[in-house]
Amino acid sequence: MNTALILIIGIPLIEIYLFIKIGSQIGAFNTVLLILTTAVIGVAYVRYEGFNTLKSAIGQLVKNELPVYELISGATLAFAAFLLILPGFATDLVGLLFVIPFTRKILLSRFVKKNTNKKKKKK
């Protein structure tokens, strides 16, 4: 089965399940309030991290170096903001993992290693 189709069907199912489970524990109003709060705080933190990444990229350019990590990190932060804006607990968790610099470095390094190994195998 196509991976995109699995994601399109699977992610909303997971989110609905989490809405029901968490909503039954803390109530519907608190669940909606929690979703809105995570979106607002998450996007504000993404903005802060984005400015830090931009400052780092400018520093790299001043040193006459190509800011490769900063470019990838900026794209990852944009994706994290998208995930944080989407209503849901699972997407918020993944978005938060992409926003935190420590976990973002780990995830990006694993992605780069995985893609580098694929390219080596093709040759």
Domain ranges for the chain = 3-122
As a whole number, mean pLDDT of residues 22-41 equals 93
Q: Residue 123: its pLDDT value, please?
A: 58
User: What percent of the chain shows pLDDT beyond 70?
Assistant: 92
As a whole number, mean pLDDT of residues 41-54 equals 90
What is the DSSP code (8-state) at residue 27? Answer: -
CA 79-43-67 angle, to 5 degrees, is: 50
- pLDDT tier at 63 (50, 70, 90 boundaries)? very high
pTM here?
0.80
From CA 63, how far away is CA 67, in angstroms rounded? Answer: 10
As a whole number, mean pLDDT of residues 15-43 equals 93
